[in-house]
Amino acid sequence: MTSWFRNRRSKVNGSGAPPADYAALRQAMVEEQLVARGISDPRVLDAMRTVPRDAFVPEEIRPLAYTDQPLPVGEGQTISQPYMVAVMTEALELTGGERVLEVGTGSGYQAAVLARLAREVFTIEQREVLARAAIERLVRLGLSNVHVRIGDGTLGWPEQAPFDAIVVTAAAPRIPPPLLEQLAEGGRLVIPVGDEHQQELWQVRKHGTQISTRVVNYCRFVPLRGQYGWPETEGQ
Ligand code: SAH
């Protein structure tokens, strides 16, 4: 079976070069980009050893799927760098029983990682083309605990609230108030906050009417749009 697949792939790419061994590249990515930089939650590492990132990037750049960078996924948007996915996921402190909200489905990769670490994942994407492609990938991988909605994620998903953890995967000018409202008591919200050039990655914790904020890292994401995001600019 393996050799048939390999032969066929060599013919298809026409170069005679052996096809990339994505499983091996994925293991190397986890060791070199995540473990080596301090990601230590074994469940996060395990999820990222399992989810095929190559299935979430466009065909023409698939050989770059496990490189240490964000990659374009169409519509001017990106799939986040693997390290950043790991940092954000680790900061959600998931143990397995949670209901998680993601704002910014993009390719669906982070949602697929979350699906292995939590009970239910609700993810919102404002761009219909990306949302539909993500749904197709998630269904193909059999991830039935991910629910995708097309719309403005800064408003959250009130019908499914409260959420034990919320992750925003686009750069926000501030914390969208509906997301804090929809966070469960003791819940974690992970969100990049800053200007268009650089943001701090915040882990926000809710304690009654109070919140505590910790800066986890520095990052650069595409802008969050919608009611509590940045206004649309020409051509974006
Ligand atoms: N988590 C994604 C990467 C997302 S890039 C992945 O794993 O591939 C950020 C995404 O947020 C983009 O797809 C963008 O269209 C989306 N986005 C921006 N503002 C949004 C909003 N208000 N509501 C929902 N999605 C939004």
Measure the N-to-C terminal CA separation of the chain; round to a whole number of Å: 45
pLDDT number for residue 232: 87
| Residue 89, ligand 1, Cβ within 6 A | no
% of residues, the chain, pLDDT over 90: 88
Tell how far the Cα of 80 is from the centroid of ligand 1, in angstroms: 10
Residue 149 scores a pLDDT above 80: yes
pLDDT tens for 210-226 read 999 999 999 999 999 99
Choose which residue among 80, 148, 169, 230 to substitute to test ligand 1 binding: the one with the highest number of ligand atoms within 8 A of its C-beta. Answer: 169
* Rounded distance between C-alpha atoms, residue 115 and residue 112, angstroms: 5
Residue 17 scores a pLDDT above 90: no
pLDDT number for residue 186: 96
Residue 12 scores a pLDDT above 60: no
Tell how far the Cα of 33 is from the centroid of ligand 1, in angstroms: 23
Residue 4 scores a pLDDT above 60: no
In this prediction, residue 20 has a pLDDT band, given cuts at 50, 70 and 90, of: confident
Residue 9 scores a pLDDT above 80: no
In this prediction, residue 16 has a pLDDT band, given cuts at 50, 70 and 90, of: low
**Which ligand 1 atom minimizes the distance to the CA of 154?**
22
- How many Cα atoms within 13 Å fall on the side-chain side of residue 52? 15
pLDDT tens for 99-131 read 999 999 999 999 999 999 999 999 999 999 999
| Residue 124, ligand 1, Cβ within 6 A | yes
Tell me what the mean pLDDT of segment 174-195 comes to.
98
| pTM score, whole prediction | 0.92
Q: With contact defined as beta carbons under 8 Å apart, do 136 and 111 qualify? A: no
Q: Which residues are catalytic?
A: 80
Size of the chain in residues? 236
pLDDT number for residue 234: 57
Task: Please tell me the CATH superfamily of domain 70-219, with its number.
Answer: Vaccinia Virus protein VP39 (3.40.50.150)
Q: Is 51 helix (H, G, I), strand (E, B) or coil?
A: coil
Q: What is the DSSP letter of 1?
A: -
pLDDT number for residue 233: 76
In this prediction, residue 15 has a pLDDT band, given cuts at 50, 70 and 90, of: low
Closest CA to 31 of 66, 65, 80, 63: 66
Choose which residue among 130, 157, 224 to substitute to test ligand 1 binding: the one with the highest number of ligand atoms within 8 A of its C-beta. Answer: 224
Residue 139 scores a pLDDT above 50: yes
Residue 5 scores a pLDDT above 60: no
**Which ligand 1 atom minimizes the distance to the CA of 106?**
13
- Closest C-alpha residue for ligand 1 atom 14: 104
Cα 38 to Cα 86, 110, 184, 204: the distances in Å are 10, 19, 28, 21
* Rounded distance between C-alpha atoms, residue 68 and residue 134, angstroms: 22
Mean pLDDT (the chain, rounded): 93
